[in-house]
Amino acid sequence: MALALAGAGALNTLAFAPYTLWWLPFFSLALLVLVISHVNHWRQALLAGLCYGAGWFGVGISWVHVSIDQFGGLPLVASIGLMALLVAYLSLFPAMAAVLSYWLTKKARHSGIFSLLIFGASWTAAEWIRSFLLTGFPWLSLGYSQTSAGLAAYAPLIGETGITFMLAVIAAALARLYQPVPVVVRVLPAVLSALVILTAPLLDNIKGWQYSDHSVRLVMVQGNIKQELRWQPEQEWPTMLKYLDLTRPHFSNADIVIWPEAAIPQLEPLAEAFLDNLNKAAFYNDAALITGILDYQRQTEQAWNNLIVLGKDTATASDGNYFYGHANRFSKHHLLPIGEFVPFENWLRALAPIFDLPMSSFSRGSYVQANLLANDYHLLSAICFEIAFPRQIRANFTADTDFILTVSNDAWFGDSIGPHQHLQIARMRAKEFGKPVLRATNNGITATINPDGSVRQRLPQFQEAVLLDNVPLSSGSTMYARFGDWPLAICCLLLLALAALRRHN
Which residues participate in catalysis according to the annotation?
261, 332, 384
Length of the chain in terms of residues written: 505
Angle at 137 between CA 91 and CA 408, to 5 degrees: 140
Task: Give the gyration radius of the chain's Cα atoms.
Answer: 24
Residue 466 DSSP SS3 = strand
SS (H, E, C) 403-464: EEEEEECHHHHCCCCHHHHHHHHHHHHHHHHCCCEEEEECCCCCEEECCCCCEEEECCCCCC
**CA quadruple 422, 255, 373, 242: dihedral sign:** positive
Which residues, in sequence order, are CB contacts of 417 under 8 Å at separation 6+? Answer: 13, 16, 17, 18, 62, 63
Of the candidates 496, 400, 431, the one whose C-alpha atom is nearest the C-alpha of residue 153 is: 431
For residue 90, the surrounding DSSP H or E stretch is: helix 76-105
Q: Which amino acid is at 203?
A: L
CA 440/CA 382 separation, integer angstroms: 11
CA distances from 374 to 188, 216, 310, 327, 407 (A): 53, 11, 8, 13, 16
Strand-pairing partners, residue 341, are 337
Strand-pairing partners, residue 407, are 383, 440
Give yes or no for a contact between 422 and 141, defined as CB atoms under 8 angstroms apart.
no
